[in-house]
Amino acid sequence: MIRPVVFITGDIHHPPDLIKRLLYGELGIPEDYELRAGLEYVKVLHEYNVPCTLFITGKLVDTFSETVKSLISSYDNVEIGAHTYYAFRGLLYGYTLFIPVYRKLFGTPYGPKHLIHYDVLKTVKAFLKLGVRPIAWRTHGYEENDYLYSLLAKLGFKIISDCRSERFKVFKRNNILHVCINMPVDDNLPNMSPSERASWYEKYIKLLNIKVRQEKALVLQLHPVNMALDNFDFLLKIIKVLLKVNSLFHRLSFLIDL
Ligand SMILES: [Zn+2]
| Cα 109 to ligand 1 centre (Å) | 14
| Cα 140 to ligand 1 centre (Å) | 4
Number of domains in the chain: 1
| Cα 244 to ligand 1 centre (Å) | 30
The pLDDT of residue 15 is 85
Strand partners, 11: 55
| Cα 87 to ligand 1 centre (Å) | 6
| Cα 102 to ligand 1 centre (Å) | 18
| Cα 83 to ligand 1 centre (Å) | 7
Ligand 1 is a single-atom ion; what residues have CB below 5 A from it? 11, 140
In single-letter form, the type of residue at position 204 comes to: Y
| Cα 123 to ligand 1 centre (Å) | 14
Q: Which CATH number goes with the domain that contains 172?
A: 3.20.20.370
The pLDDT of residue 30 is 79
Instruction: Give per-residue burial for 218-233: e unless 16+ CB within 10 Å, then b.
Output: bbbbbbbbbbbbbebe
Q: What residues make up the domain containing 194?
A: 5-255
Q: Whole-model pTM?
A: 0.95
Contact 248, 4 (CB under 8 A): yes
Q: Which residues of the chain have pLDDT under 70?
A: 1, 25
| Cα 193 to ligand 1 centre (Å) | 22
| Cα 56 to ligand 1 centre (Å) | 8
| Cα 2 to ligand 1 centre (Å) | 33
| Cα 94 to ligand 1 centre (Å) | 17
Q: What is the pLDDT of residues 49-77, one digit of tens each?
A: 999 999 999 999 999 999 999 999 888 89
The pLDDT of residue 206 is 98
The pLDDT of residue 20 is 72
CB < 8 Å & 24+ apart, contacts of 238-243:
238/204, 238/205, 238/208, 239/44, 239/45, 239/48, 239/50, 241/205, 241/208, 241/209, 241/212, 242/4, 242/6, 242/50, 242/208, 242/212, 242/218, 243/48
| Cα 1 to ligand 1 centre (Å) | 35
| Cα 3 to ligand 1 centre (Å) | 30
Instruction: Give per-residue burial for 151-184: e unless 16+ CB within 10 Å, then b.
Output: bbeebebbbbbbbeeeebebeeebebbbbbbbbe
The pLDDT of residue 7 is 98
| Cα 82 to ligand 1 centre (Å) | 10
The pLDDT of residue 123 is 98
